[in-house]
Amino acid sequence: MTTRTRPAPARRGTPRRRRVDGLHAYTLLLIGWLILPVAIMIAFGFNDVHGKQNYRWEGFTLRWYAHLLDKDDLVTAVVNSLTIALLSTLLSTVAGTLAGLALGRYRFRGGGATGLLLLMAISCPEVVMGASLLSMFVTFGLPRGYLTILLAHVMFSIAFVAVTVRARVVGLDPAVEEAARDLGAGPWTRFRLVTLPMIMPGVVAGALLAFVLSIDDFVITGFTSGATVTFPLWVYGSTRTGTPPQVNVLGTLIFAVGAVVTAVTARRGARAPDHSRAW
Partner 1 sequence: MADSAGRTGERGSAGRVRGALAPYLMVLPAGLWLLVFFVVPMVAMVSLSLQTGDLVDGFRQTFHWRNYTDGLHTYGDQFVRSLWYGLLATVACAVLSYPAAYWIAFRGGRGKTAYLMLLLLPYFVSFVLRTVSWKLVLTDDGPVLGPLRGHGILPPGFHVLDTGFAVVSGLTYNFLPFMALPIYVALERIDPRVVEAARDLYAGRAGAFARVVLPLSLPGVFAGVILTFVPASADYVNAEVLGGPGDTMIGNVIQSEYFDNGAYPVASALSFALMAILLLGVFAYARALGTRNVLEAAGR
Partner 2 sequence: MSGVDPAFSRGLTRPRMARSTLARRDALRLLGAAGAAAALSACGVKGQGRRAEAGRDDVREFWSGRSGTGELSWANWPGYMQDDHRTIKAFEKETGITVSYKEVIQETGPWFGKIQAPLAAGQSIGFDLMVMTNGIQLEKCRRLGYLAPLDRSRLPNVAAHAGAAFRNPSYDPGNAFTVPYESGITGIAYNTKYVKEEITSIAQLFDPKYKGRVGMMGDSQELGSFGMFLIGVDPERSTPADWDRAAARLREQRDRGIVRKYYTQDYVDAVSKGEVWLTMAWSGDVYSLAGPDVRFVVPREGGTLWTDNLCIPRTAENPVDALTLMNWLYVPANNAPLTEFVNYITPVPATRQIIVADAARATGEARADLTRLSTSPLVFPSEGDLARLRHYRRLTQAEEVRYQRTFEPIAKGS
Pick out residues in 103-122 that bind partner 1 (CB under 8 A). 103, 105-112, 114, 117-118, 120-121
| Binding residues with partner 2: total (CB under 8 A) | 64
Is residue 197 involved in binding partner 2 (CB under 8 A)?
Answer: no
> Looking at beta carbons only, is 187 or 197 nearer to partner 1?
187
Is residue 115 involved in binding partner 2 (CB under 8 A)?
Answer: yes
With CB under 5 to 8 Å by kind, the binding choice for 4 among partner 2, partner 1, none is partner 1
Is residue 215 involved in binding partner 1 (CB under 8 A)?
Answer: yes
Is residue 144 involved in binding partner 2 (CB under 8 A)?
Answer: yes
Greatest Cα pair distance, the chain, in angstroms, is 72
> Looking at beta carbons only, is 228 or 248 nearer to partner 1?
248
> Looking at beta carbons only, is 148 or 190 nearer to partner 2?
148
Q: What is the DSSP letter of 47?
A: B
Distance (Å, rounded) from C-alpha 142 to C-alpha 209? 29
Distance (Å, rounded) from C-alpha 265 to C-alpha 19? 33
- Angle subtended at Cα 46 by Cα 44 and Cα 49, rounded to the nearest 5 degrees: 75
Q: Are 226 and 144 in contact (CB under 8 A)?
A: yes
Distance (Å, rounded) from C-alpha 193 to C-alpha 195? 6
Q: Are 77 and 251 in contact (CB under 8 A)?
A: no
Judged by phi (left if over 0) then psi (alpha if -120 to 50, else beta), residue 141 lies in: left
Q: Are 177 and 116 in contact (CB under 8 A)?
A: no
Q: Among 80, 89, 228, 243, which residue sits at the site for partner 1 (rule: CB under 8 A)?
A: 243
With CB under 5 to 8 Å by kind, the binding choice for 152 among partner 1, partner 2, none is partner 1
- List interacting residues with partner 2 (CB under 8 A): 51-53, 55, 70-73, 76, 110, 112-113, 115-119, 122, 126, 134, 136-139, 141-145, 160, 163-168, 170, 201-202, 205-206, 208-209, 212-213, 216-218, 222, 225-229, 233, 236-242, 258, 262
